[in-house]
Structure 1
Amino acid sequence: MSRARALDVTADLTLTIDGEPIAIESYTDTVLVDFPSVRALAAVARTERQRLPSLERTLRRMDLTVVVLVDGVAVGTVGARAKPQSNRLPLEVDAGGTLRAAVAAPLRFFN
């Protein structure tokens, strides 16, 4: 796969999906996408899972990385600097961060 020209992204916005505010911020080649809860991330992941391989390929080609956070805690990385655990899931999962995010806001996860 040929590599496109590397990009830097400048963004500071809030996207609302199903009433949940998702903060997106970047000033470099790393985009931070911060979900307010594990539940909000899971809802988006369920509906958008089939797009992940295409997103991952595009991010790598553009030399961009997306760090997924839950309430400020990194839970996964996709794109240029990610080290996916398998080809089926082109995402580097931070198990410790995922556990911290779930423990930090258990009521938001189960409500």
Structure 2
Amino acid sequence: MGAPARDARVVAATRAWSACMRDAGFADTTPDGLVARYHGPGRPTAEELAAATADERCTAAGNLAGIWFAALAGYQRQLIDANQERLAAYRKSVAEQAAQLGRVVGA
């Protein structure tokens, strides 16, 4: 789950989602718990379809996905910014390897 799951915005949106799901008849449910509970082979049951419908409605109502992905993107930008030198060195190494492979294949 990582940093986005601990982000205050995501925590609040997840609580809102859980309250919405509870109101829809799916108590003690988390997004991950919902996946684990209804992950299985075969045709979905009526309960699974009801849970999926409630999940879609609750996710949209609280913008859980949008908030989670915005938080994730922010943390990823922070990691990129903090590791610019290492990323530049990696890019250079990959370019050098590609050039060497081109020379080997061309020979």
Higher relative contact order (CA 8 A, sep 6+): 2
Q: Greater helix percent: which structure? A: 2
Give TM-score scaled by structure 1 length: 0.24
Which has the greater radius of gyration? 2
Q: Greater strand percent: which structure? A: 1
